Structure 1
């Protein structure tokens, strides 16, 4: 019995232990790692992944997956930037529609939620596997981004918008405050509301959840809509930080999000995991990315290392699932 209890404690602490060991190794290899400036830089960078990963966690808890978050991030960032800078021209009606900062932001977030809703609708209405449905959205959203931007960045968006990505508030970067707010809301949602219980129930056993009266389709629609909205929020943060909406923004972000979710202990089979675990996973991925850059590791090898980390995390997840 004591051995089982110790094993459970080790399983819960494995991500924290991995982060501690990773920090020690990088700090030994690079004297720039344990500096205040680099610490804030890491936190600012992982804020985007935290927002995306929280949405991904909600999806994975229902035994789903969302491969479109990177492309949705790029499209919503580009739409917000385009509306803010250029507005909408309707030559036939001799009409120009301008947008305030708040108006452009709201439309960007709503559009992200709408794309997520479309993912959920395709998955629930036509029984399309989440992998296929969101892979299709990945391609469509990336194509729409290229069409909207015509393949060119949309830059010089103004200091007020840039504040979202580069500003400071009470001595802390604004993106960090945004990610903290997202974390708190997600934790309350998953642990204190009926929606959170339904999400875990669906991932644990969808048939049992259906028989107990849970509206499976409605919950999945909500979950994918939230994932799309949070991807859009990440898009606003990236665009504001760069002061530019890049057509190829968000490439590979879905992999970092999935890695954060799995490393954080959320099972790809659904029904098991936590928001705090995902946050810890996102920190590990952020520290790993930062460490590889500080050590001047080739970007190509960085991809190899991250792929190996994801594979290892999935193998551990499968092993833990068998032992449950």
Structure 2
């Protein structure tokens, strides 16, 4: 709505009426606005409080080196969370992204080892960019299979992605055969497949490459959700799939594409992670799916679909990262770290539900008041 077609609201010239408790209407509106801002921006408020508390408890918490470490770890979680946001906006869930990270790392590690050519004794060593593209393509393939089973066969996302979690983890074990891949990742000068660590473990302008990838993907995701028809289709199908379908939204294609996006994000993290730890391991990516879901929920997205933002998801990822790092720095037991992180997630979901209940009650009260006003006018 532009400024020219916005409806004008008469400005009251008389005294503002007081409420039943004696407070003026203006005072109650101001308190309501402050409360709404705090609820809507709860992820940012939580992040500020976490930083303030741990900065007081530890002098090293805001050390530049520690902040870079936090940013690097947050970037991995945030990239996966961006893909998870797309899925949750549609009302789905993807439990396979963690195992997809591990599978992608195993595929990249084996490609660095070389590919045995059939019917010959030759071994082909792909270029680094080919390895990266093929590894991310594996993640896209996993996402495509998830989307195909969910959208075409109408299978439950929870069941499909849970099964794919086991499939991905099993294939990772098969590819690695119980051994970590380390030295092969550096490549060989004579084969022309060196430079992997120089690119993906580098720190342009002092920040890890994963942070720059996170920023780039966040910008692309924002454009996709806000500026493209796909974003409008996604929000519409997540809010009411049947109504969106009747309105001409290609619900099936949208559902397939979001799982492909989630798989691509997991594939990118798999490549970045093996560069980060200098090896491909069987347990790579464990629990990443839970951290991604937590980041999306803490960022204000609704698990029922139709509501969520890129900005909130990124802030949610930073909340988890700063909280986990702070607990480690102050010496909290790893067992209690899990308890505290879980409690924060539950609290975020509870606040979201309370907000929705309050909104429904407010809408009901307004509807009753408008009905009474209309009835009085008619009388």
Pairwise TM-score range, normalised by the shorter structure:
over 0.9
| Structure number with higher relative contact order (C-alpha < 8 Å, ≥ 6 residues apart) | 1
* Structure 2 Cα separation of the partners of residues 19 and 239 of structure 1: 29
Question: Is 1:33–1:294's contact at 8 Å kept on the other side of the alignment?
Answer: yes
Aligned residue in 2 for 1:203: 238
2:130 maps to 1:130: no
Greater helix proportion = 1
1:68 is matched with 96
User: Which residue of the partner structure matches residue 83 of structure 1?
Assistant: 111
1:154 maps to: 181
CA displacement at 1:4 relative to structure 2: 4.3
Counterpart in the other structure of 2:260? 225
1:290 to 287, 300, 325: 325
Matched, 1:306 2:333: no
Tell me how far apart the structure 2 counterparts of residues 298 and 155 of structure 1 sit (CA, whole Å): 30
Deviates more, 1:4-13 or 1:222-231: 4-13
CA positional deviation for 1:14: 1.2
Paired residue for 1:117, among 141, 144, 148? 144
What's the CA shift string for 1:180-223, capped at 9, x where partnerless? 11111101101100001111111111111001011111001110
Quote the RMSD (CA, aligned, Å): 1.4
Once the two structures are TM-superposed, the CA of residue 164 in structure 1 deviates from its matched residue by 4.4
CA displacement at 1:322 relative to structure 2: 2.1
152-161 vs 267-276, greater mean Cα deviation:
152-161
Equivalent residue for 2:10? Answer: none
Q: Is the 8 A contact 1:74 1:235 kept in 2?
A: yes
Q: Offset of 1:268 from its aligned partner?
A: 0.5
Q: Which runs of 5+ in 1 are unaligned?
A: none
Length-normalised TM-score, structure 2 = 0.82
Give 1:292 shift. 1.3
Q: Distance in 2 between matches of 1:95 and 1:204?
A: 54
Q: Which moved more, 1:94-103 or 1:41-50?
A: 94-103
* Mapped pair 1:98 → 2:125: yes
- In structure 1, what is the Cα distance between the partners aligned to 2:221 and 2:344? 25
Instruction: Please list the CA deviations of residues 110-155 of structure 1 after superposition, one character each: whole Å capped at 9, or x if unmatched.
Output: 1101100100111112211111111111110000000000121111
* SS of 2:41 mapped into structure 1: helix
2:195 is paired with a residue whose SS is helix
Q: Does 1:256 align with 2:256?
A: no
TM-score, normalising length: structure 1: 0.96
Aligned length: 323
